[in-house]
Amino acid sequence: MYRICFVCSGNICRSPMAEVVLRARLVDEGLDTGIVVDSAGTGGWHAGEPADPRAVAALNAAGYPAGPGDHTARQFDASWFDECDLVIALDRGHHRELTRLAPDRVAAEKVRLLRAFGDIGPVAASGAELDVPDPYYGDDEGFADCLDIIETALPGLLKTVRERTGAVG
């Protein structure tokens, strides 16, 4: 099994959206056997809650199968580094937190930024282009924009998954 975990702040917006999109793409490309995809948050304040209804609505509007009860938020635990092959942070803050949480260098090297897989052109010195903006405090359009950004990174992520697993699809 090859295991991927997406991580955002509370695990109710960005990371569950990325989880649903990658699962759908893996199915579309015949790569869903042997690859486990899940998500978590760096914080536990939403643990036990479903995905934000606006995230579910954005996914459904784009044709992804997602229901209000399909997801339960949880907090990432350092012990999961042993289980995960790739831990994908949705922004630089999550990346820093996960790297600090990693028990060793090998675990820390599993942490990657989602947008680092995408073609975002030249990156400014701030690195802000590598963040998937948090739509939580915004309107519905912010969730649609978040989904667009996630989708843009998926071809590069799928390429990496194929390379690391030897999968053909």
Please pick, among 32, 85, 134, 145, the residue that the annotation labels catalytic: 134
The C-alpha atoms of residue 105 and residue 145 are separated, in whole angstroms, by 34
100 is catalytic: no
112 is catalytic: no
Please pick, among 5, 13, 14, 38, the residue that the annotation labels catalytic: 14
Please pick, among 8, 13, 84, 146, the residue that the annotation labels catalytic: 8
Task: Give, for all 169 residues of the chain, the pLDDT tens digit.
Answer: 999 999 999 999 999 999 999 999 999 999 989 999 999 999 999 999 999 999 999 999 999 988 878 999 999 999 999 999 999 999 999 999 999 999 999 999 999 999 999 876 555 445 668 999 999 999 999 999 999 999 999 999 999 999 999 876 6
pTM (two decimals): 0.94
pLDDT in tens, 76-97: 999 999 999 999 999 999 999 9
pLDDT in tens, 139-163: 999 999 999 999 999 999 999 999 9
On average, the pLDDT of the chain sits at 92
52 is catalytic: no
Q: Count up the domains in the chain and report the number.
A: 1
Q: How far is CA 87 from CA 28, 57, 64, 80, 165, in A?
A: 22, 25, 22, 9, 15
- Residue 78: give the domain boundaries: 2-165
The C-alpha atoms of residue 70 and residue 36 are separated, in whole angstroms, by 16
The C-alpha atoms of residue 43 and residue 166 are separated, in whole angstroms, by 34
CATH number at residue 28: 3.40.50.2300
